Amino acid sequence: MDTSIYILGFVIFLALAFDFINGFHDTANAIATSVSTRALKPRTAIMMAASMNFIGALMFEGVAKKIGGSIADPALLDNGIDILIATLIAAIIWNLVTWWLGIPSSSSHALIGALAGAVYVGAGSENVKWHGFIEIVEGLIFSPLIAFAIGYVVMMILKWIFAKRSPHTVNKGFRSMQIITAALQSFTHGTNDAQKAMGIITFALVTSGRLETMHVPLWVKIAAATSMALGTSIGGWKIIKTMGTKIFKIEPINGFAADISAASVIFSATLLHLPVSTTHAITSAILGVGSAKRFSAVKWGVAGRIVVTWFITIPISAVLAGVIFKIFF
């Protein structure tokens, strides 16, 4: 059998491994608030997140096409497979490092930065679609700002509506509603994040000549959805602890506000075919909700460390992918 088949298979394996890691790396985004407020038991929350991630991943492909074709044209790259190998190894390394440190960094930033860096080094700057790259980065930058603003506004509205109600009664009601919002958050995570691996696999199929267009085959959707669901089923407890307890003390009404705010931003981006960071969306929504609750309640030192990681992920991933390409190819 042609060795290129094995190489393509290796790329698909790496993409699914990235998706798997993305699943347990980003599980915290969907369930941290519901677990921290005890709306859901950890194991129940994780299994629900895995199921909803799977369903969401199967339903859309616009983000996959955006990832696969907006940074580079796979049909024009003679060494596209090598570029993808460097991309995926770099993104996986950064995801594992930040997971180990318990920092909720962005898998989206890691993948996009790594792909741009690998294309730049492996094929030259003329093969990087800078307009598409900037458009994606703009979406990644503006989405957390929007999530922060929505979280702040939603929490202020809820404070005004329930100002005269007993906090115990209010939180008891919102603890039940958090089950719905956690499921919604998991679904929207699947609609956006799982498509990134789909886009990379489709990119590989096009650059290897086994697919003519950036249409995502059904088997790719099922493979990526399954991989993310399996990763989600493992969970990422280090990040759950950071998201659920270290930014500010989250109560059920806060968790509901953060989840509904983040889910609205992520799903809107999916409908616009824009890859966004679920990590950024939910973290920013939590910060916005915390600010509305009481500005001083937010542990801004922890928040600052998270934000720094956001800014350094793209350049570090790009450099890492470029170095890996240089070393191995």
The set of residues, in sequence order, having a beta carbon less than 8 Å from that of 1 and lying 6+ positions away, is none
* Residue 260's pLDDT band (cuts 50, 70, 90): very high
Q: Which residues of 18-56 are buried (b: 16+ CB within 10 A; e: fewer)?
A: bbbbbbbbbbbbbbbbbbbbebbeeeebbbbbbbbbbeb
Percent of the chain with pLDDT over 90: 30
Confidence (pLDDT) at 76: 82
Question: How far apart are the C-alpha atoms of 252 and 242, rounded to whole Å?
Answer: 17
* Residue 321's pLDDT band (cuts 50, 70, 90): very high
Confidence (pLDDT) at 172: 86
Compute the average pLDDT of residues 81-86.
93
* Residue 238's pLDDT band (cuts 50, 70, 90): low
Compute the average pLDDT of residues 274-299.
82
Longest dimension (CA), the chain: 72
Compute the average pLDDT of residues 173-197.
87
* pTM assigned to the model: 0.84
Confidence (pLDDT) at 1: 38
